[in-house]
Amino acid sequence: MSKTKFRPIVGIDLGTTNSSVARIINGEAKIIELKNGSKLLPSVVHVSKEGEIIVGEDARAALVAMPERTVAEVKRKMGESEPLTIAGKELLPEEVVSIILKELKKYVDEIYGSEGEKEAVITVPAYFTDEQRQATKKAGELAGFVVERIINEPTAAAMAYGLNKLDEEQHFLVYDLGGGTFDVSIVEMNSGILEVKASTGNKQLGGSDFDWRLVDYLAEKIIEETGIDPRNNLQACARLKDEAEKAKIELSKQEEVDISIPVLLVKDNQPIGLELQLSRDKFVELIDDLLLDTLQSVRNVLEDAELKPEDIDQILLVGGSTRIPRVVELIEEFFKQEPRCEINPEEAVALGAAVQAGLKSGSLTDSGLIVTDVAPYSMGIEVLKGWQGLTYRPGGFQPIIKRNTTIPVTKTEVFRTTYDGQEAAAIKIYQGEGEWVEENHYLGEFLLEGIPANRAGAEEIAVTFNYNLNGILEVRAECVSTGEEMSITVQDALDRNSEAAYQESVDRLEEFFKKAAEEKKLKEETVLAELEDMALAEELDSVDLDDLDEEIESVEELIEEAELLKKRAEELAENENKKLRLKAEYIILKLDEAIESGEQEKLQKAIDLAFEEIITLETGGD
């Protein structure tokens, strides 16, 4: 009897602002801690001037200083074919996302070992289109995961909550307002069966939009005073966005916040800055129409589920933007009850993805939890449709699986030939809610041939849609009189057009990493050559370290200390004095080399060198 090889499986919340990964430990979902004990990885990618590819907090810190070398909020671009430019290089959105997921995979590999396949359940907004879901799956595969399941974010959050509520019978509403997307779902829990009744949302509404409203407000203040629009300057705009996000977060804790930017940009050799006090009331005034839009989605989802506000037993808040007090206030006013906050809103989706991973792997089989979901969009085919009551025209949309239908599901509808002698029928597949296919999203098509030539309407064609929990749609068409059949599966490949597109992404990423490595090596060689010309390398390496603190620290502590010193050195590397700049760059190289080695002795030596030299440089020494 052969043994099945164990393949670890984790749940990933791929967020617009932050991402996280979780796993099941002893029957409980737990977030995997990242560097420095953090549970969230900022979804930002940066390529340093030295050619180093950086993901996470350090990348986000670089967004203000070097926006042209940094990419953030890429989730909003998923499914688009236009490449993004980062440090002069072009990558598709899913390729950038794969770099973020690859960073998360490092921590998974630390737990389970770098050898062997790792599987991931990745979450997406409930309202993501087929293309966006496929781009997400592709990003996971490019990062090195096996991705067999994509699930909706509000469904995942409901699973995180429902795992410990199996005996309850209730309806609960999941209000998921994240950094870039909004979803709302109604879920019914009944004797261990968690059934999603309805979902809706807006994939272009989230905390980032609140930030930009505040950016526009701050920019108008500067225009009033100086006549200059800081949004036309890439670096100034990035600084305003950063300050706006910080102010938004602080206003969730306090009534007022001071915004102080001494130098935002320079005009005629004069610094232009911004100093103002922003109240929570003013911030709410700027974004209230967007928050009220989310309430309209709440009304819509209640209508779809055929429920009233008083039928909802619990409201779950998910996503970092639900920390805004006005959100809680609106929800309480609408439902006349307080929302539940026992699960960290920024962790709920990842925890739920881990629950789905546990159900899939079998580690939670004994929990008794059964989950169903719904189709986020209607899916159907192009048909002839009555037009203005006068005639029929092509391009009409006929749904076969309607939005919010419980999945898995199989539906069949019968159509008839439309003209005399018709021997073939083109089955064109779309998803969306528009009455005409031009308003909807094209998925694929095939041709059913072998229809007997007959008068119009005499031959029947049965079209069957089979949509499963993995988001795979199979469409089959059959000529009823002959049994002639054709089918297509439109969502199971990484790219429905060809595997060549996937290989192109692999090649492009390899070239991206290769060029970054080459830039890093060239920078090191250039700095060392210039240092040698100035005899600085020997001078730096001969620093007397005997009197420095010799307390032994762990490798982890040393790496953390080295990273902090590196940040200080990077600031000094911007110095106009070439000798000082080269000294700082040399320190950075030594710290990078020590961090990469992971050797305690080398780390300690590099830290001692960096500490003494940085103090000298910061105090104006040479």
- List strand residue ranges (DSSP E) for 26-178, in order: 28-31, 41-42, 44-47, 53-55, 70-72, 84-86, 89-91, 118-124, 145-152, 169-177
Asked whether the beta carbons of 516 and 51 are under 8 A apart, the reply is yes
Q: How far is Cα 243 from Cα 246, in angstroms, rounded to an integer?
A: 5
pLDDT of residue 247: 95
The tokens of 521 are what?
């090596």
- In this structure, which CATH number among 3.30.930.10, 3.90.190.20, 2.60.34.10, 3.40.50.10890 belongs to the domain 379-489? 2.60.34.10
**What are the pLDDT digits (tens) for 568-622?**
777 777 766 766 777 777 778 778 777 766 677 778 888 887 777 777 766 665 5
What does pTM read for this prediction? Answer: 0.75
Nearest to 62 by CA among 86, 94, 34, 90: 86
Residues with catalytic roles: 13, 75, 153, 176
Banded pLDDT at 103 (limits 50, 70, 90) = very high
Note whether 448 and 427 are within 8 A (CB): yes
DSSP conformation class of 320: G
Q: How far is CA 299 from CA 149, 162, 185, 307, 335, in A?
A: 30, 23, 11, 10, 11
Kind plus residue range of the DSSP H or E element containing 431: strand 424-431
Instruction: Specify the pLDDT at position 119.
Output: 93
At residue 603, the pLDDT reads 81
- Give the residue, 580 or 356, on which the prediction is more confident: 356
Query: Which among 131, 173, 168, 180 is positioned nearest to 13, based on CA atoms?
Result: 180
DSSP 14: -
Give me the amino acid identity at 510.
E
> Which residues 6+ apart lie within 8 Å of 147 measured at CB?
119, 120, 121, 122, 137, 140, 141
Tokens of 173: 């509403």
- Supply the mean pLDDT for the chain: 84
Distance, in Å, from the CA atom of 383 to the CA atom of 392, rounded to the nearest integer, reads 10
Of 51, 47, 76, which is closest to residue 62 (Cα–Cα)?
47
Residue 550 has pLDDT above 60, yes or no: no
The pLDDT tens digits of the residues spanning 14-27 come to: 999 999 999 999 88
3-state SS, residue 551: coil
The reported pLDDT for the residue numbered 547 is 43
Q: Which residue has the higher pLDDT, 35 or 538?
A: 35
- Measured distance CA(510)–CA(458) in Å, rounded: 57
Torsion of CA 583, 585, 590, 593, to 10 degrees: -170
Q: Find the radius of gyration of the CA atoms of the chain.
A: 28
3-state secondary structure 158-217: HHHHHCCCCCCEEEEEEEEECCCCEEEEEEEEECCEEEEEEEEEECCCCHHHHHHHHHHH
pLDDT, one tens digit per residue, over 480-536 is 999 989 988 775 444 444 567 778 888 888 888 777 777 777 766 666 666 556 555
Domain-wise residue ranges, the chain: 9-205+298-374, 207-286, 379-489, 501-618
Architecture per CATH, 207-286: Alpha-Beta Complex (3.90)
Does 321 score more than 60 pLDDT? yes
The answer to whether the bond into 271 is cis (omega within 30° of 0) is no
Q: Kindly state the helix (H) or strand (E) to which residue 237 belongs, with its residue range.
A: helix 234-250
The reported pLDDT for the residue numbered 567 is 79
Structure confidence at residue 546 (pLDDT): 45
For the cut 90, the answer to whether the pLDDT of residue 462 exceeds it is: yes
* Distance set, CA 396 to CA 322, 379, 385, 392, 460 (Å): 40, 13, 5, 9, 19
Domain 9-205+298-374: CATH superfamily is ATPase, nucleotide binding domain (3.30.420.40)
pLDDT digits (tens, 9 = 90+) for 382-419: 998 877 666 788 899 999 999 888 888 999 999 999 99
- At residue 293, the pLDDT reads 94
- Indicate the range of 171-185, 286-300, 563-577 predicted with least confidence: 563-577
Buried b (16+ CB within 10 A) or exposed e, 213-229: bbbebbbeebeeebebe
Residue with tokens 């979901």: 373
Burial class (CB in 10 A: 0-12, 13-18, 19+), 354: buried
**What are the start-end ranges of the H helices in 534-599?**
536-541, 555-572, 578-597
For 120, phi then psi, to 5°, come to -135, 140
Average pLDDT over residues 550-555: 54
Beta strand 424-431 pairing with 441-449: antiparallel
Residue range 302-313: average pLDDT? 94
Q: Indicate left, alpha or beta for 571 from its phi (over 0: left) and psi (-120 to 50: alpha).
A: alpha
Q: Model confidence at 257, in pLDDT bands (50, 70, 90)?
A: very high
**How many CB atoms lie under 10 A from the CB of residue 243?**
22
Packed helices 207-226 and 234-250: angle between N→C axes, nearest 10 degrees? 120
pLDDT in tens, 186-195: 988 887 788 8
- Name the band, by pLDDT with cuts 50, 70 and 90, for residue 555: low
| pLDDT in the model for residue 98 | 95
